[in-house]
Structures are given as C-alpha cells and as structure tokens.
C-alpha cells in the first residue's frame, strides 16, 4: 500500500471517531496519562506540522481547540495533498536523517494516527479495532528496539497483559497502555 493510500485509510478511521464527538467529549480523559480526547487530536494536528518544516513545508496553524473536527479534517487534507504529490521533497531531521517526505510521513506520522485512534476510541468509550495482523507486525518490528523506544521517552513502561492476549492488547501493553483502560 502506498503512503498516500495508507494515510487515507488510517485518517478515515480517525475521522470516524472525531466527527460524531460532541463538545463534552473533548474533555474526556484518554489512556495517555494527563491527556484528554482533545489532546490526542491536538497532538496529531500540531506535531506533524512542525516535523514537516524539515522538508521546507510550512503549513498554517489550525485552531484545534475551537474546532477539533474541522481542524482535524483540514489537517488530513493538507497531509494527503503532500502524500499525493511529494514532489521529490526530502525531510531532514536530526533524529531520523534524510528521507523522502512521503516515507517519513508514513513511518512516523501515519503510524501515530493508527496508534492514537486506539487512544481516542477508548477516550470516547468505544472499542477500537486496529487489526490483529497489523498489530502483530508492529509488535514484531518494535520488540527488537524496545530499549531505544523506552529511552526516547515516547513510550511508557510496558503494561503486563494476560497470556494469550490479542495482538492488539499485547501491542498496547508494550506501548505502555492498559488494554483494559476505561474512561
């Protein structure tokens, strides 16, 4: 699957969570410590816009707090446009090196949308389904670099899960989230 198609699919799943959310939903806690549902959306809108400056791409700030759904939809359209026409741009980042912009978005941002869809679903009281096969693949890829991931500060301590837990629950536990978490 191309980075553009993968982003379109993952962003659509996240949009299905964002669109029906009401004003009262945005203050609900999320499984990410000290984050609300709004913070999950804010994170996914704001950090990639800064990240893309490494490719010379300047995107205007969006009013996430005033209109989370509107900001999210505009952000998705902005990212999708870059993915549809990467124009040979290279993203330079001291942590990731130089990469074609579409590959960088795919590896770092689109995967973040996918994982955070679990967080937003949980915050909104829904049961997320990230896909067992994809969860198993992600877990297999992440396990060999566990210490590097933990040292980055981007992931909490692993949360133990029951023997025989689903790949999704295992992945969430690995990422420091409690699969049984409820809002």
Q: What is the pLDDT of residues 16-35, one digit of tens each?
A: 999 999 889 999 999 998 99
- Which CATH number is 54's domain given? 1.20.120.450
The neighbouring-strand residues paired with 93 are 97
pLDDT of residue 154: 79
Instruction: Out of 128, 150, 172, pick the residue that ends a domain.
Output: 128
pLDDT of residue 42: 97
Assess whether 103 and 119 both reside in one domain: yes
Assess whether 35 and 70 both reside in one domain: yes
Instruction: Out of 128, 153, 169, pick the residue that ends a domain.
Output: 128
Assess whether 70 and 12 both reside in one domain: yes
pLDDT of residue 94: 84
Assess whether 85 and 175 both reside in one domain: no
pLDDT of residue 173: 96
Assess whether 113 and 44 both reside in one domain: yes
Assess whether 60 and 107 both reside in one domain: yes
Assess whether 89 and 160 both reside in one domain: no
pLDDT of residue 93: 84
Question: pLDDT tier at 114 (50, 70, 90 boundaries)?
Answer: very high
Residue 181 belongs to domain spanning: 131-183
Tens digits of residue pLDDT in 53-108: 888 999 999 999 999 999 999 999 999 999 999 999 999 988 788 999 999 999 99
Q: How many CA atoms lie within 13 A of 104 on its CB side?
A: 25
- Assign 3-class secondary structure to 49-118: HHHHHHHCCCCCCCCCCCCHHHHHHHHHHHHHHHHHCCCCCEEEECCCEEEEHHHHHHHHHHHHHHHHHH
pLDDT of residue 78: 98
pLDDT of residue 97: 87
Tens digits of residue pLDDT in 138-164: 999 999 999 888 888 778 889 999 999
- Residue 21: closest CA among 72, 74, 60, 79: 72
Assess whether 121 and 143 both reside in one domain: no
pLDDT of residue 34: 92
pLDDT of residue 150: 85
Instruction: Out of 89, 110, 128, pick the residue that ends a domain.
Output: 128
Number of domains, the chain: 2
pLDDT of residue 25: 95
Residues 170 and 178: beta-carbon distance below 8 Å: no
107-145 residues labelled b (16+ CB within 10 A) or e (exposed): ebbbebbbbbbbbbbbbbeeebebeeeebeebbeeeeee
Assess whether 22 and 76 both reside in one domain: yes
Assess whether 68 and 151 both reside in one domain: no
Mean pLDDT score, 107-118 = 95
The CA distance from 114 to 137, in Å, is 13
**What is the Cα 171 distance to its own chain's centre?**
14
Assess whether 67 and 14 both reside in one domain: yes
Assess whether 35 and 124 both reside in one domain: yes
Mean pLDDT score, 108-126 = 96
The CA distance from 174 to 105, in Å, is 23
């Amino acid at each position: 699957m191309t980075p553009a198609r993968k982003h379109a699919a993952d962003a659509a799943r996240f949009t299905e969570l964002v669109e029906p959310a009401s004003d009262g939903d945005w203050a609900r806690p999320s499984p990410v410590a000290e984050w609300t549902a709004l913070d999950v959306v804010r994170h996914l809108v704001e950090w990639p816009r800064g990240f893309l400056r490494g490719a010379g791409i300047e995107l205007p700030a969006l009013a996430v707090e005033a209109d989370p759904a509107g900001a999210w939809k505009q952000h998705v359209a902005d990212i999708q446009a870059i993915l549809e026409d990467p124009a040979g741009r290279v993203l330079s980042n001291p942590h990731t090196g130089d990469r074609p912009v579409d590959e960088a978005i795919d590896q770092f941002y689109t995967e973040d949308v996918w994982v955070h869809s679990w967080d937003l679903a949980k915050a909104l009281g829904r049961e997320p389904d990230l896909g067992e096969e994809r969860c198993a693949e992600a877990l297999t890829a992440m396990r060999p670099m566990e210490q590097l991931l933990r040292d980055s500060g981007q992931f909490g301590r692993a949360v133990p899960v029951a023997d025989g837990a689903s790949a999704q629950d295992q992945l969430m536990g690995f990422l420091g989230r409690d699969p049984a978490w409820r809002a």
